[in-house]
Amino acid sequence: MSLKQWLLELKTHSHQKIRLVLIGNKADLKEEREVAEEDIQNFIRENKITHYYETSALSGLNVEPPFVDLTGLIIEAIKEGDIKPEE
């Protein structure tokens, strides 16, 4: 399934105000990159994705920041009433 298809499925079957964090893995393998940075930036802009990270589980690059941001987005959604923890 392509990222576009996955995003469509996600938006179709999730909350209207879903928060997204897009993570690209294997940032340590730049020479084997399959998606051009320009294509990623276009996709992010076209789909209004505000949080994007390139990570490397091998080196630990940017592994923590997406979780910190996602936690912040969840707290924000709770405060705005978009997520009700009791449900």
CATH classification at residue 17: 3.40.50.300
- Residue 86 resides in a domain: no
- What is the spatial distance between Cα 20 and Cα 51, in angstroms, rounded to a whole number? 7
Within-domain flag for 84: no
When pLDDT is averaged across residues 11-40 and rounded to a whole number, the result is 89
41-53: per-residue pLDDT in tens? 999 999 989 899 9
How many independent structural domains does the chain possess? 1
Whether residue 10 has pLDDT greater than 80: yes
- According to DSSP H, which parts of the chain are helical? 3-12, 37-46, 64-79
Domain that holds residue 53: 3-79
State if pTM tops 0.85. no
Identify the CA nearest to 51 among candidates 25, 23, 30, 11. 23
| 30 occurs within a structural domain | yes
Q: Taking all residues of the chain, what is their mean pLDDT, rounded to a whole number? A: 91
Q: pLDDT digit string (tens) for 58-87? A: 999 999 999 999 999 999 999 998 888 876
In-domain check, residue 50: yes
